[in-house]
Amino acid sequence: METAPLDVPRGLAGVFVTDTALGDVRGREGFYHYRQYSAIELTENRSFEDVWYLMVHGDLPDRAASDGFTARTAGLRRLPAEVREALPSIARACVLSGPLAGLRTALSLFGASAGFRPVYDIDADRRREDALAACAAVPTVLTALHRLGQGLEPVEPRDDLPFAANYLYMLTGEEPDADRAAAVERYLVSTIDHGFNASTFTARVIASTGADIAACLGGAVGALSGPLHGGAPSRALDTLDAIGTPERIDSWIRGRVVAGERIMGFGHPVYRTEDPRSRMLRSVAQSFGGPLVDFAVEVERQVEAILAELKPGRELHTNVEFYAGVVMELCGLPREMFTPTFCAARMVGWSANILEQAEDSKIIRPAARYAGPPPPQPVPAL
For the chain, how many residues are written?
382
Largest CA distance in the chain: 75
Tell me the C-alpha distance between 269 and 272, whole Å.
Answer: 8
Q: Quick check: do 36-227+336-358 and 233-330 share a fold? A: no
pLDDT at residue 284, rounded to an integer: 97
**What CATH number does domain 36-227+336-358 carry, 1.20.1740.10, 3.40.120.10, 1.10.580.10, 1.10.10.10?**
1.10.580.10
- Considering only CA atoms, which of 282, 295, 291, 289 is closest in space to residue 246? 295
pLDDT at residue 261, rounded to an integer: 85
pLDDT at residue 358, rounded to an integer: 97
pLDDT at residue 1, rounded to an integer: 42
The domains of the chain are located at 36-227+336-358, 233-330
pLDDT at residue 6, rounded to an integer: 62
pLDDT at residue 186, rounded to an integer: 97
By annotation, the residues acting in catalysis are 268, 321
**pLDDT 10s per residue in the chain (382 long)?**
445 456 777 777 777 788 999 999 998 888 999 999 999 999 999 999 999 999 999 999 999 999 999 999 999 999 999 999 999 999 999 998 899 999 999 999 999 999 999 999 999 999 999 999 999 999 999 999 999 999 999 999 999 999 999 999 999 999 999 999 999 999 999 999 999 999 999 999 999 999 999 999 999 999 999 877 866 667 788 889 999 999 999 999 999 888 888 887 777 777 777 889 999 999 999 999 999 999 999 999 998 898 888 888 777 787 788 899 999 999 999 999 999 999 999 999 999 999 999 999 899 998 888 999 999 999 999 9
pLDDT at residue 232, rounded to an integer: 61
Q: Which CATH superfamily is domain 233-330 in?
A: Cytochrome P450-Terp, domain 2 (1.10.230.10)
